[in-house]
Chains A and B, each alone.
Chain A
């Protein structure tokens, strides 16, 4: 098996007021180059923690992450992160937000005009060419997330990490962005790890769906292969029996084998996840 990214027996503990809290235990996952993997699980199960460990934003207590044969434990632009709340700098225009990333990553490698072209090209990919000189507060939530994705694509990461990228968007906008993402991934062949709580989204986009058990000491429960042919069309798929079969298996895992834990250890979550956790529980209750 072509081991591009290896998450190897990763566990993490957080120190809290009431002693240590083990969030993850023995998480093992190998990802091939160009693969699109979704992490799915109930809120509070540690999906974001896995992503943040791969990103290097959190350090694993044991185990490690190996990317192309090298261990990674600090953040870097080779593992770009698309944050749920877009995380654009509100004092910079759309162009400047992408420019900050491009200038930092391609310092000394690209000329001025090449940098300009590269920024324009990436904004074109996400269909944002019409608003490059707008400020983030002047564009809609979906547009902001498009720019957030463009900023990450422009770093040419080895792995694109997406932390519930469409979780804060309305259903129509989300569908639009999912289509765009499929198109881009089809063209560029990025390796993607995406966190989601939306089963349909996971089945539509992924090559594999990794389903996590509930915390504490969460781990990987089951992995589902999604063999649906690409390019995928959401309308055609909704009537395809294969699609529905995979979807049902995922739902059965989430709602039968891993019933929603309902709060409990939520207060012990570290600061990194505070923002993510709040909106996660909101959307979970909206879905119920």
Chain B
């Protein structure tokens, strides 16, 4: 290992010397080239394997087919947008005509209800995961802080946490669905029931990593700092605000990142299982559709899910960097 890194260091020095580029530039160039080689190899292996897999829905999609399907999905989206615009245009014309004939005429506005497009499904999924994640965070961080501060509370709550932590949130899904439809009765619902079902399911799995990591973080505050707080007789709220939370920030964010990652995974499964709108439903619909394009479209969804998961994690990392006091720490 050590030997390899020496060789690598020498290589960078040599290239930097010959090309006149700074060592950091050479290093990032090197990383870039290696990533590119990795991706190209993956695409090559993918394409050659895909060519050899035949399913009842045709050949397994390779990169080329997936690229075609991306184009198709984009044009689907554009077509749907044109239709929507045309619908509203017709509606406006119709209403204007009626008003011209009879100024007192009752005019009606209808929402366009077309097939949800791929981008629309993405947005639905993102909104759902955000709602579930925020709900869980709002509960989990205060609960974790309380558990970390009070050994008594921790002992009381820990068995419950340990019991529910290993439960797949999908097991909750039927219960959540029934409870939501029984409790959330409204003539003019602000949220769709399917949205609430998915969001609560996501929240149920986002709770535990944040609660547990926050508890650990709060429990491991440096004892000298706690003694400073005791000598100063800081009130509990100030103690939490000035000493506990800044200390526990790295732990809290570890919990939040784990939560968001599992929440995103669970959401897709919940959408498939419950036929709630979102990327999961898109996949399921394509699967049921069973056209020769379906597998390619599913593959697009798979890559999209991965990419969004990656972006969400980067956003959390960025947020941690903004919030954390220790700007020198390396976040990975």
Contacts and interface: CB of A to CB of B under 8 A. Distances in A.
Interface stretch (B45-53, B230-238, B281-289): B230-238
B242 interface: yes
A87 B225 contact: yes
A77 B230 CA distance: 9
B309 interface: no
A75 B239 CA distance: 15
B76 interface: no
Given A83-B227, A100-B242, A275-B224, A90 B325 contact: yes
Contacts of A57: 227, 230-231
B227 A87 contact: yes
A104 B228 CA distance: 12
A271 interface: yes
A89 B225 contact: yes
Nearest to A57: B227
A105 to B, nearest CB: 7
Contacts of B135: none
A76 B231 contact: yes
B231 to A, nearest CB: 5
A21 B7 CA distance: 57
Nearest to A276: B224
Contacts, number: 57
B113 interface: no
A101 B230 CA distance: 11
A259 B231 CA distance: 35
Contact of B228 (A56, A87, A105): A87
Interface in B229-265: 230-234, 238, 242-243, 246
Interface residues on A, range: 20 to 34
A88 to B, nearest CB: 9
Contacts of B238: 104
Contact of A83 (B224, B325, B326, B328): B224
B24 interface: no
A137 B225 contact: no
Contacts of B242: 89, 92, 100
Given A100-B232, A105-B232, A91 B328 contact: no
A55 interface: yes
A91 B242 CA distance: 9
B231 A75 contact: yes
Interface in A85-110: 85, 87, 89-92, 100-101, 104-105
A56 B231 CA distance: 8
Given A57-B231, A91-B325, A100-B242, 13 more contacts: A55-B227, A57-B230, A75-B230, A75-B233, A77-B232, A80-B231, A81-B228, A90-B326, A91-B246, A104-B234, A104-B238, A155-B232, A275-B223
- List 9 tightest A-B contacts by C-beta distance, closest first: A91-B325, A87-B224, A75-B230, A91-B246, A104-B232, A75-B231, A83-B224, A87-B228, A81-B231
29 contacts: A55-B227, A57-B230, A57-B231, A75-B230, A75-B233, A77-B232, A80-B231, A81-B227, A83-B228, A85-B224, A87-B222, A87-B224, A87-B227, A89-B225, A89-B228, A89-B242, A89-B243, A90-B325, A90-B326, A91-B325, A100-B232, A101-B232, A104-B232, A104-B233, A104-B234, A104-B238, A137-B326, A272-B223, A275-B223
